[in-house]
Amino acid sequence: MPMNIQDAIYSTAHDYAGGCESLAPRMGMSSAVLRNKVNPNMDSHHLRLDEAIKMMTFTNDDRIAQAIAFRLGGVFIKLPDCEIENERCIETLTDLFMCAMSAQGETCAELLARKADGELCKNDMAVLTERAHSVITEMQKFIELMK
């Protein structure tokens, strides 16, 4: 399960090589200001949406987008760069489709195994939900590349 949005913001800034001290100048602010903006315990400073996008771009870390999508009941999918006429792209499409089908099969097998005793507990449902999200994510990548 993805982390909450505030934890994702904090982790994105602090996990970057060099942390806030290295990232802040690239974002046009001091490291102290950035540390305050990403601090989940700080009520007076907040990271703006444009700053969050800039941070994700500089860090190549999409955990904030993942956390926002999860909070809204969706998933974030990073698509590979691909031209449909390109032979390598066709290979990528095939790989994406096969991964989606494999994940679906694994999820079905997991469901059968977990309901073998005739019950699905809360933990079973959480695991199956996470696996289903994985299947949907892989299939959505495939669908988006086909457009």
How confident is the model at residue 51, as a pLDDT? 96
Residues 6+ positions from 145 with CB-CB distance below 8 Å: 79, 80, 82, 84, 89, 92, 93, 96
pLDDT in tens, 120-129: 888 888 888 8
Strand segments, DSSP code E, in the chain are none
Q: How far apart are CA 45 and CA 27, in angstroms?
A: 16
Please say whether the beta carbons of 110 and 116 come within 8 A.
no
Better-scored residue on pLDDT, 122 or 55: 55
Reported pTM: 0.61
Q: Tell me, what's the pLDDT at 3?
A: 76
The token pair that represents 44 in the structure block: 């007076």
Closest by Cα among 55, 47, 3, 46 to 25: 55
Per-residue pLDDT tens for 97-117? 888 888 889 889 989 988 888
Residue 63 has which token pair? 């955990």
